[in-house]
Structure 1
Amino acid sequence: MLSLSVAIAQSKKYFNPLGQEAIQGRLAILDEAKNFGRLPLESKNVVRDPVWSLGTNSAGLYIEFETSSDSIQVRYKVKGSLNMPHMPSTGVSGVDLYSFNKTTKSWDWAFGQYQFKDTVTYNFNNIGKNINHTYRLYLPLYNTVEWLEIGVNVNENFKFIRKDNKPIIVYGTSIAQGACASRPGVGWTNILGREFDNEVVNLAFSGNGRLEQPILDLINKEDAAVYILDCIPNLAITNSRSEGQLDSLITHAVQLLRSKHPTTPIVLAEHSSAYTRGFQNIHTMAEYGKSSKVVHATVKRLKKSGVKKLYFVSAMDYNLDINSTVDYAHPNDIGMLKIAEAYHKILKRIL
């Protein structure tokens, strides 16, 4: 007897987004890339190995399409482990399907029946013939996609969709990459992307968001609507990094972006878990607070020196609490929503 996925596959026609310039949420230099990564091949020899490896993860990438099919199957293969101790397979390796209703101007969501095997499959069934919707399929947050196909009923139409606009670029850490959302659509950068017409480019690298020159150079080549630098969680004050060195690192990043983009808004942020109410781990909170105080002071100094359109998100703006995280710093879905809301508030003013 045929399995459900095999039976569904026999009634579907499949479309490969690669080569169609259909992958959104990444730098323009990657429009014609034949993979699902976030860094161009030429970066491999200039970034550190962990950054390159994490850059092959598809965090923040999404595919938009239109179809009249009331059933959609997504099948794909991933390269790494399906899950992590603190993050489920649906977030690490799963996909997530939303659609924008052009009539109501609102977002809908479809749950899928999934199988995590050698080939991962998601079946979205009985979702209606939504001819006035644009579907948005989010890709895995913490895994590398080797290949992916989208299947729709053989007698129904299908078309990839792409909007061209200035992106919101986020350079960040594991939190911005998506740890520890239960599914891709609730990573904070993806939540934020549904609030604006601009696509959000996720350049976040777990444990390795350090305001490094090769990534800053890539970002500087992009004509963005906003630059968000959310790297403080990976820039603790240590024996090898003083407060003065962190100040210099932040200053250099801002001055580099300003050299090519004198009027583009730049947003800097404190550690989202600094000063969280109710956390009993005193030394951890002190560590987060040290680096957060530095970025706050640096922003004030830069603004006083005449740097324009420089914005700041404080830890208190995120308003995280004891129900907002999975562990010492990584937000759960509640925390992700709170972070997205903080950025939405400031970006609404800017954009």
Structure 2
Amino acid sequence: MFKLFKYWKESLLGSLFCVLSICGFAQEKKWHNILQENALEGRVSAIKAEDGYARLPLSLKNEVREPVWNLGQDAAGVYVDFKTNASSIVVKYKVNGGLNMPHMPSTGVSGLDLYAKSSNSNQWNWITGNYSFKDTISYTFQNYVTEPNSTYRLYLPLYNSVEWMELGIGENDQLEFLHQKTKPIIVYGTSIAQGACASRPGLGWTNWMGRNFDEEVVNLAFSGNGRLEQPILDLIKKEDASVFILDCVPNLGITAERTEEKLIGLIVNAVKTIRSEHPITPIVIAAHSSSQVPGVLNKKNTDGYNLSSAIAEKTVKELQNNGDKNLYWLTSKEIGLDNSSTVDYAHPNDLGMEKIAAAYTRLLQKIIK
């Protein structure tokens, strides 16, 4: 009986010690409020502190359709750059929507992603984290080896809005948030550009592509609602961008309401709107990434993707022939998806995201001055 009591006593003390150690670890963290410290990158210049973690400014709430506004609260493409000497980084935060979707995991919809690169390299390397998806989500990054003076990049969730977020490091560690002073790459697109269906945020194609450039990348993609609408065009034309990417064809299929003539008109108006403020800044318009994909037998989908892409390509070439020498067309062949590149023949998996990012990288490296 005495031995049993002694065993339980020692177990209880051991458990208590572990709890106190964990609490002590939490108490030893120095927490930084990412929003209050103005650390967020990847958003248009019109964003203000009161806009929270959103991608659209409050001034647009009554100007855009409700689905666009709601999707604009998602943090797709938003990121934080910083330097630190910390050997352990903890991020805790709360999101406002569902953690996942049937075709996309929690790590992509609601998760984070951390990368780092040394000061003498352009290579971004990944740091995996231990995560917990509860009411408060947490990621712990530790046991990593980085060079002194490395730059870290933390990507926020692709398909969820963030209510609050804090980044914790040791009490004696240092942290400096960084900001890119470059002309941004502006992306206006659909669910594909928003990040569906990457398994984690760093693999969304706009984020993946962004690691190949010094320019900040601004993601204005809205799932099912990238339709070249005037309020968004008026927002992006105010940006002093290095290039404008209009990847909206996947949401511009031909229907009874959206005729071929209307699609042509949308494209012409989008280019005209941007050109009113930026007469020579490069504009890229892309085909549906899943048009003309070999080895897929769903004829109705294929025909629809091919039709809208063909109309868009013809329109772009006419604008080019009329004198716009800084307007570019990205073909689906250049993107190069195959029948292993998507989740559902529209939304890329990680392999498809890599192909799209690579295609844009090749083109932008030629046209960004």
Smaller-chain TM-score bracket: over 0.9
Q: After superposition, what is the alpha-carbon deviation per residue over 1:96-132, rounded to whole angstroms, capped at 9, x for unaligned?
A: 0001211233211110000000100000011246432
SS of structure 2 residue aligned to 1:137: strand
- Counterpart Cα distance in 1 of 2:355 and 2:136: 34
- Counterpart Cα distance in 1 of 2:166 and 2:109: 19
Query: Residues 11, 128 of structure 1: CA spacing in aligned structure 2 closer, same or farther, 3 A cutoff?
Result: farther
CA-CA distance at 1:164 after TM superposition:
1.1
Query: Residues 3, 245 of structure 1: CA spacing in aligned structure 2 closer, same or farther, 3 A cutoff?
Result: farther
- Alignment of 1:335 with 2:352, yes or no, is yes
SS of structure 1 residue aligned to 2:313: helix
**Which of 271, 277, 301 is equivalent to 1:260?**
277
Residue in structure 2 matched with residue 142 of structure 1 by the alignment = 159
Query: Residues 172, 3 of structure 1: CA spacing in aligned structure 2 closer, same or farther, 3 A cutoff?
Result: farther
Return the TM-score normalized by structure 2: 0.93
Query: Residues 165, 104 of structure 1: CA spacing in aligned structure 2 closer, same or farther, 3 A cutoff?
Result: closer
Residue in structure 2 matched with residue 81 of structure 1 by the alignment = 98
- Counterpart Cα distance in 2 of 1:308 and 1:8: 58
User: Residue 47 of structure 2 contacts residue 56 of structure 2 at CA under 8 Å; is this kept in 1?
Assistant: yes
Query: Residues 4, 54 of structure 1: CA spacing in aligned structure 2 closer, same or farther, 3 A cutoff?
Result: farther
Residue in structure 1 matched with residue 259 of structure 2 by the alignment = 242
Q: Which runs of 5+ in 1 are unaligned?
A: none
**Which of 205, 210, 232 is equivalent to 1:188?**
205
- Counterpart Cα distance in 2 of 1:56 and 1:147: 13
Residue in structure 1 matched with residue 61 of structure 2 by the alignment = 44
CA-CA distance at 1:29 after TM superposition:
1.4
**Which of 106, 111, 133 is equivalent to 2:150?**
133
Structure whose alpha-carbon radius of gyration is higher: 2
CA-CA distance at 1:345 after TM superposition:
0.7
Query: Residues 74, 130 of structure 1: CA spacing in aligned structure 2 closer, same or farther, 3 A cutoff?
Result: farther
- Alignment of 1:220 with 2:237, yes or no, is yes
Query: Residues 7, 272 of structure 1: CA spacing in aligned structure 2 closer, same or farther, 3 A cutoff?
Result: farther
SS of structure 2 residue aligned to 1:233: helix
- Counterpart Cα distance in 2 of 1:249 and 1:3: 62
Residue in structure 1 matched with residue 138 of structure 2 by the alignment = 121
Runs of 4+ in 1 over 4 A off after TM superposition: 3-7
Query: Residues 145, 274 of structure 1: CA spacing in aligned structure 2 closer, same or farther, 3 A cutoff?
Result: same
CA-CA distance at 1:350 after TM superposition:
0.4
Query: Residues 5, 268 of structure 1: CA spacing in aligned structure 2 closer, same or farther, 3 A cutoff?
Result: farther
CA-CA distance at 1:31 after TM superposition:
5.2
Residue in structure 2 matched with residue 17 of structure 1 by the alignment = 34
Residue in structure 2 matched with residue 230 of structure 1 by the alignment = 247
- Counterpart Cα distance in 1 of 2:136 and 2:288: 37
Query: Residues 9, 347 of structure 1: CA spacing in aligned structure 2 closer, same or farther, 3 A cutoff?
Result: same
Return the TM-score normalized by structure 1: 0.97
- Counterpart Cα distance in 2 of 1:134 and 1:33: 28
Q: Which runs of 5+ in 2 are unaligned?
A: 1-15
User: Residue 287 of structure 2 contacts residue 312 of structure 2 at CA under 8 Å; is this kept in 1?
Assistant: yes
Residue in structure 1 matched with residue 43 of structure 2 by the alignment = 26
- Counterpart Cα distance in 1 of 2:249 and 2:50: 30
Amino acid at match of 2:363: I
SS of structure 2 residue aligned to 1:288: helix
Residue in structure 2 matched with residue 171 of structure 1 by the alignment = 188
User: Residue 90 of structure 1 contacts residue 182 of structure 1 at CA under 8 Å; is this kept in 2?
Assistant: yes
User: Residue 68 of structure 1 contacts residue 129 of structure 1 at CA under 8 Å; is this kept in 2?
Assistant: no
- Counterpart Cα distance in 2 of 1:5 and 1:97: 23
- Count of residues paired in the alignment: 351
Residue in structure 2 matched with residue 344 of structure 1 by the alignment = 361
User: Residue 117 of structure 2 contacts residue 124 of structure 2 at CA under 8 Å; is this kept in 1?
Assistant: yes
User: Residue 171 of structure 1 contacts residue 230 of structure 1 at CA under 8 Å; is this kept in 2?
Assistant: yes
Pick which of 303-312 and 229-238 moved more: 303-312
RMSD: 1.4
- Alignment of 1:91 with 2:108, yes or no, is yes
Residue in structure 1 matched with residue 12 of structure 2 by the alignment = none
Residue in structure 2 matched with residue 35 of structure 1 by the alignment = 52
Pick which of 158-167 and 202-211 moved more: 158-167
Amino acid at match of 1:27: V
Amino acid at match of 1:234: N
SS of structure 1 residue aligned to 2:117: strand
User: Residue 74 of structure 1 contacts residue 121 of structure 1 at CA under 8 Å; is this kept in 2?
Assistant: yes
- Alignment of 1:274 with 2:291, yes or no, is yes
- Counterpart Cα distance in 2 of 1:121 and 1:19: 19
Q: After superposition, what is the alpha-carbon deviation per residue over 1:167-205, rounded to whole angstroms, capped at 9, x for unaligned?
A: 000000000000000000000000111000001100000
User: Residue 113 of structure 2 contacts residue 154 of structure 2 at CA under 8 Å; is this kept in 1?
Assistant: yes
- Counterpart Cα distance in 2 of 1:42 and 1:158: 33
- Counterpart Cα distance in 2 of 1:237 and 1:321: 23
Query: Residues 331, 129 of structure 1: CA spacing in aligned structure 2 closer, same or farther, 3 A cutoff?
Result: closer
User: Residue 18 of structure 1 contacts residue 33 of structure 1 at CA under 8 Å; is this kept in 2?
Assistant: no
